[in-house]
């Protein structure tokens, strides 16, 4: 009897040990599943948080205003001399420029007056695509504030004057544009009185920063677009070696006039 009882107890003990081992194993598995689930959730939260942070950072850099210059829309150019009726068959000239671009300054020095005359006389429909990619390339805060200042000037009817003032007194590539510089361009452009007050508010708010970025992004999606300055006549990009002189540009416009 003693041996039988001892054997029974031993068997019971063995079964209990197996049950405990099974419970322990089962509990460990559950813990692993819980831990793995938590890790996955944390990873998802981290990714989502990173995306949100990235979007917030981009939004902060371009502002939240959805304002666009009169007659334009996001990603589209600004038409100069919109109050001028084009002559019959006048071609559309699209200029892609960045106010920080030294080559744009040189181009403007050579052709600025000719382009203005053609635009004012209605012999061309003149569209400006004002970009800001050089801010990112150089790390300077230059292209965007200059462009925003120009479009703020457009609300006072002084876009062309401000545009020309920027190039006549162009800030060096890679240098920030400060408020004093913007104020100087506004003065040269002839913005005064209540118009200057409105311009200052517009500049301080970065009203057109988002629009400028949209135009920049749209330009770099165009087939064959490489940078500034770029000239397009009736949708055809031109070789600057051909249209980079007064004679060459005038001839290209005449050839495109229907």
> What is the reported pLDDT for 190?
98
Residues 6+ apart with CB under 8 A from 217: 75
What is the distance of C-alpha 37 from the center of its chain? Answer: 39
Contact 80/215 with Cβ under 8 angstroms? no
Burial letters 204-213, b for 16+ CB under 10 A, else e: eebbbbbbbb
* Res 103: pLDDT: 98
CB 72 within 8 A of CB 79: yes
Structure tokens at 62: 């371009």
CATH code given to domain 78-256: 3.40.30.10
Q: Which runs of E-coded beta strand occur in 34-101?
A: 78-79, 92-98
pLDDT value at residue 65: 86
Q: Which residues are 127's β-sheet partners?
A: 79, 94
Neighbours of 257 (CB within 10 A): 15
Map tokens 């940078």 to a residue: 227
State pTM to two decimals: 0.77
Question: Whole-angstrom Cα distance, residue 220 to residue 231?
Answer: 14
Can you give the pLDDT of all 258 residues of the chain as single tens digits? Answer: 343 444 444 445 555 655 455 455 545 554 545 444 444 444 454 444 554 444 444 444 456 789 999 999 999 999 999 999 999 999 999 999 999 999 999 999 999 999 999 999 999 999 999 999 999 999 999 999 999 999 999 999 999 999 999 999 999 999 999 999 999 999 999 999 999 999 999 999 999 999 999 999 999 999 999 999 999 999 999 999 999 999 999 999 999 999
Is the separation of the CB atoms in 233 and 93 below 8 Å? yes
Domain ranges of the chain: 1-62, 78-256
Under DSSP, is residue 119 helix (H, G, I), strand (E, B) or coil? helix
* Number of helical H runs and strand E runs in the chain: 10, 5
């Amino acid at each position: 009897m003693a041996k039988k009882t001892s054997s029974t107890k031993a068997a019971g003990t063995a079964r209990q040990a197996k049950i405990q081992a099974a419970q322990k194993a089962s509990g460990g598995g559950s813990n692993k599943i819980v831990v793995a689930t938590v890790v996955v959730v944390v990873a998802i939260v981290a990714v989502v948080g990173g995306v949100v942070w990235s979007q917030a950072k981009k939004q902060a850099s371009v502002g939240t205003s959805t304002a666009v210059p009169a007659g334009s829309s996001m990603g589209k150019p600004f038409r100069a001399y919109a109050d001028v009726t084009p002559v019959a068959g006048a071609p559309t000239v699209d200029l892609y420029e960045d106010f920080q671009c030294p080559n744009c300054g040189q181009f403007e020095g050579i052709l600025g007056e000719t382009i203005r005359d053609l635009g004012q006389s209605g012999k061309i429909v003149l569209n400006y695509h004002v970009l800001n990619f050089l801010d990112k390339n150089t790390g300077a805060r230059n292209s965007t504030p200059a462009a925003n200042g120009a479009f703020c000037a457009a609300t006072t009817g002084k876009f062309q004057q401000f545009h020309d003032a920027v190039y006549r007194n162009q800030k060096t590539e890679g240098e920030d544009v400060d408020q004093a510089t913007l104020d100087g361009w506004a003065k040269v452009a002839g913005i005064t009185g209540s118009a200057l007050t409105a311009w200052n508010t517009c500049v301080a708010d970065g009203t057109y920063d988002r629009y400028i970025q949209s135009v920049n992004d749209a330009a770099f999606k165009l087939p064959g677009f490489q940078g500034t300055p770029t000239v397009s006549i009736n949708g055809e990009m031109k070789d600057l070696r051909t249209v980079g002189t007064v004679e060459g540009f005038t001839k290209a416009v005449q050839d495109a006039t229907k």
